[in-house]
Amino acid sequence: MNTPPPAIDFARIPRERLPALLRTMPKAELHIHVEGSLEPEMTFRLAARNGVAVPYAGVEQLRAAYDFADLQSFLDLYYAGAAVLRTEQDFFDLAWAYLERAAADNVLRAEIFFDPQTHTARGVPVGAVIQGLHHACRRAHQEWGLDADLILCFLRHLSEDEAFATLEQALPWRHHFIGVGLDSSERGHPPEKFARVFARCRELGLHVVAHAGEEGPAAYVRSALDVLKAERIDHGVRCLEDPTLVTRLAAERVPLTVCPLSNVKLRVFQDMAAHTLPALLQAGLCVTVNSDDPSYFGGYVVDNFLKLFEAHPALDAAAAYRLARNGFEAAFADEARKAGWIARLDEAFAGAARRPLTCSRSLPRAAWTLALNETTMRSSSPSYGSAWCASHEGKTTSWPGRGATSTDGGCR
Ligand code: HPA
Ligand code: ZN
C-alpha cells in the first residue's frame, strides 16, 4: 500500500479546526488491550454480578489509584482489576463497551489485544474469553460496519513453555484471532525468550507483533524484528536511541503503534510536550496513534490525538492525515479493505480543505479545551447517538439520556 497521498491542500485546514477533524477523521486502532478498557464502573458491576471482592470503596477510590510510577506499577493494578472477568458474557460486555467507544471515535478498524493467561490462571476457560470477545467484534461489524479482529498476547514475564501451553489451549478457536503479540513486563524479558513459540505461530499463519522499546532498550526492538520476525512494533519509542535502527525501521517501513497517553502515564516521557512522536514522524517512520489501556491512562484514541496535538503546535493537518493513514496502511487487512478506508480518510481531509479558511461559525478560541471537555462528557455518558454535521467536519453528538445535543469542536 504505497499509493502516494492525494493532492490535498493541507495548508487550507487551519490549526483551530484540527480538534474537530482529529475527532471525526476515520481511524484505525492497532494497539488496545481489551482488559485495559475495563472502566471502574464496569469493574464494580461485574464484581457484584460475579461475587468478587474489590479492595476499593467505590469508583472514585479505584480511579484515584491510577497513579503509576512505571509499567510494573500499572501492570499490578491491571492484572488485579481483570479478576472480575469470569464468564463469556463478561468478555462480551467488556469488548462491546470498548467497541462502542471506538465507533464514537470513528474507528473503522480495530485490532484488539487480549491476555488469555491472565484469565486461565484463575480457572476461566480460554474458550469463554475468545468467544465473548469474538461475538462483540462480530456484532460491531454487523451494527456499525466497524471491522474488528483479535490478537492473542503472551505474557512475557511467564515462561515460553507456558506460552506454548496457552497457544495449544487457544488453537480450537484459531479462526477467531488473526495474530499473536507479546506484552507485560518488558525489562529482563527480551523477545528472544519466545523465539520458538513465535516461530510456531508464524507456521500457523498468524500475524506477529511484539511490545518492544517501551521501557526496554532499542536492542529489544531489533530482536523483535530479527528473532520474532515481528511485523509491527508496539510502542518502539526507544528506537530513537539507536540511529541505525531508526534508518532500518524507516527503510523497511515497520509500523510503530505509539500510545502517547500511556507513555506519559507510565513515565516513559515526563509530559506530553516531551513525547518524541513528532521526531519519529520526522524520521520518516510509519507511526500510528493508539490508546493502549484507555481506562487506566486517561483516554481513548481521540483523546490521544487531541492531547498530542495540543502539546505539539508543530503538528498540523498533514501530520494528522499521515498518522491516520499510517494506521490503515499498517492494519492486518487485505488491500481492498485498506483502499476503502483510505478513500474515506481522503474524503474527510479533501472536504475539510475545500471549506473556506474562515467560517461564520468558526471555532471558539478554546477549541482544544472544548474538545477535551466533550471527550470527558462522552466518557461519562452511558448511551449516545451521533451524526455527521454536513457543513463542517464536526460530528453532532447527542446524549439521549440527558436530552441534550451538542456539536463537537464548537460547530454549533
Ligand atoms: N506494556 C506492556 N504490557 C501491557 C501494556 C503495556 O503498555 N498494557 C497492557 N499490557
Ligand atoms: Zn500495550
Residue 399 Cα to ligand 2 middle (Å): 31
Q: Which domain holds residue 290?
A: 10-347
In a domain, 371, yes or no: no
DSSP 146: -
Question: What contacts 147, CB < 8 A, 6 or more positions away?
Answer: 108, 109, 110, 141, 333, 337
DSSP bridge partners of 153: 181
User: Considering its fold, how many domains does the chain have in total?
Assistant: 1
pLDDT given for residue 236 in this prediction: 98
Residue with cell 487550507: 12
pLDDT given for residue 328 in this prediction: 98
Cell for 24? 471525526
CA pair distance 266, 287, nearest whole angstrom: 19
CA pair distance 49, 28, nearest whole angstrom: 33
Q: Tell me the three state secondary structure of residue 164.
A: helix
DSSP bridge partners of 406: 397
- Could you read off the pLDDT of 125-149 as tens digits, one per residue? 999 999 999 999 999 999 999 999 9
For the four alpha carbons of 11, 13, 17 and 22, in that order, the dihedral sign comes to negative
In a domain, 47, yes or no: yes
User: Which has the closest alpha carbon to 180: 162, 159, 202, 195?
Assistant: 202
In a domain, 158, yes or no: yes
Q: In testing the pocket of ligand 1, which one of 74, 113, 117, 152 has its CB within 8 Å of the most ligand atoms? A: 74
Does 35 participate in catalysis according to the annotation? no
CA pair distance 108, 103, nearest whole angstrom: 7
> How many residues comprise the chain?
412
DSSP 292: B
pLDDT given for residue 409 in this prediction: 34
In a domain, 398, yes or no: no
Are the beta carbons of 372 and 392 closer than 8 angstroms? no
pLDDT given for residue 382 in this prediction: 34
Cα torsion through 89, 84, 58, 292, rounded to 10: -90
**Atom 2 in ligand 1: which residue has the minimum CA distance?**
184
The HSE-up count of residue 172 (CA atoms within 13 Å, CB side) is 9
In a domain, 174, yes or no: yes
Rg (CA), the chain: 20
Share of the chain above pLDDT 90, in %: 84
Residue 181 Cα to ligand 2 middle (Å): 10
100, 186, 214, 215: the catalytic one is 214
In a domain, 189, yes or no: yes
In a domain, 373, yes or no: no
Q: Closest ligand 1 atom, CA of 35?
A: 9
pLDDT given for residue 355 in this prediction: 81
Q: Which helix (H) or strand (E) element contains residue 63?
A: helix 59-64
In a domain, 22, yes or no: yes
Number of other residues whose CB lies within 10 A of the CB of residue 188: 9
CATH, residue 256: 3.20.20.140
Q: In testing the pocket of ligand 1, which one of 73, 209, 211 has its CB within 8 Å of the most ligand atoms? A: 211
CA pair distance 284, 266, nearest whole angstrom: 26
- Could you read off the pLDDT of 256-294 as tens digits, one per residue? 999 999 999 999 999 999 999 999 999 999 999 999 999
Residue 326 Cα to ligand 2 middle (Å): 18
CA pair distance 104, 300, nearest whole angstrom: 10
User: pTM of the entire structure?
Assistant: 0.89
Cα 301 to chain centroid distance, Å, stands at 6
CA pair distance 106, 395, nearest whole angstrom: 10
CA pair distance 55, 252, nearest whole angstrom: 47
Cell for 6? 492525494
Positions of the chain with pLDDT lower than 50, given as ranges = 358-365, 376-412
The HSE-up count of residue 374 (CA atoms within 13 Å, CB side) is 28
In this structure, the residues whose C-beta lies within 6 A of any atom of ligand 1 are 33, 36, 71, 78, 183-184, 211, 214, 262, 292-293
Cell for 228? 520474532
pLDDT given for residue 6 in this prediction: 75
From the CA of 34, which ligand is nearest?
1
**Atom 3 in ligand 1: which residue has the minimum CA distance?**
184
pLDDT given for residue 264 in this prediction: 98
